[in-house]
Amino acid sequence: MDKSSEDYLRFLNGDDNGIVEIIKDHKDGLMLFLNRYTENISEAEELTEDTFFRLVIKKPRYKERCSFKTWLYTIGRNIAVDHLRKKQKVQNLSAEELEKLRGNEYELESSYLKEEQKIILYKALNGLKSEYAQVLHLRFFEELSNEDCAGIMGKSKRQIENMMYQAKKALRTELEKEGFVYEDL
């Protein structure tokens, strides 16, 4: 049993230093080996991380039929081959399919930014008069109409419209104090 095999056994038995030693001993060589598959050192680095991640999470069984290094590099190669298959699939997509994927990415980013804006807005609401915060919360967080806001708050539609105007002005002031740029308020 070689040193890496012993380190892996130590790791499986609960000693995290075992995996640290394996990574220290094999990361550079494995990365250079995987670079032969990807021809991209950044991808090879990610695949190396994925290989060690698989060891840590899945804890595959090492049967000592070959050296530990051979076994480890085989796992890395399999991960690289899977990666290249997925990459090839993406490269074979039509222009329409790629555009759809980009659109999904844009939608995800846009959704994330909207959520971040809501968080900032929610924090700024805490500095407003209670009625202003309520009407803005109902309108923007709950996405209710002015009529619905009026019914909930016991006001007329006209009162809600006036309150919305005043609340937006107060919110702008709060946001400007914090150095935020407001849009569509």
Global pTM exceeds 0.75: no
Tens digit of each residue's pLDDT, the chain (185 residues): 789 899 999 999 999 999 999 999 999 888 888 888 788 889 999 999 999 999 999 999 888 888 888 889 889 989 988 888 887 765 665 556 545 554 554 555 555 556 666 666 667 777 888 888 888 877 877 678 888 888 888 889 999 999 999 999 998 888 887 666 555 54
Domain that holds residue 113: 102-177
The whole-number pLDDT of residue 185 equals 46
Residue 88 in tokens: 């090839």
Q: Same structural domain for residues 11 and 69?
A: yes
The whole-number pLDDT of residue 70 equals 83
Instruction: Using the 3D structure, point to which of 68, 91, 114 is the last residue of a domain.
Output: 91
Pairwise CA distance, residues 61 & 41, whole Å: 28
Say if residues 4 and 26 touch (Cβ distance below 8 Å). yes
Q: How far from chain centre, in Å, is Cα 132?
A: 34
- What 3-state class would DSSP assign to 144? coil
The whole-number pLDDT of residue 156 equals 92
Instruction: Using the 3D structure, point to which of 60, 91, 122 is the last residue of a domain.
Output: 91
Pairwise CA distance, residues 24 & 9, whole Å: 16
Say if residues 153 and 160 touch (Cβ distance below 8 Å). yes
Q: Name the amino acid, one letter, at 51.
A: T
CATH assignment at residue 142? 1.10.10.10
The structural domain count of the chain equals 2
- What 3-state class would DSSP assign to 95? helix
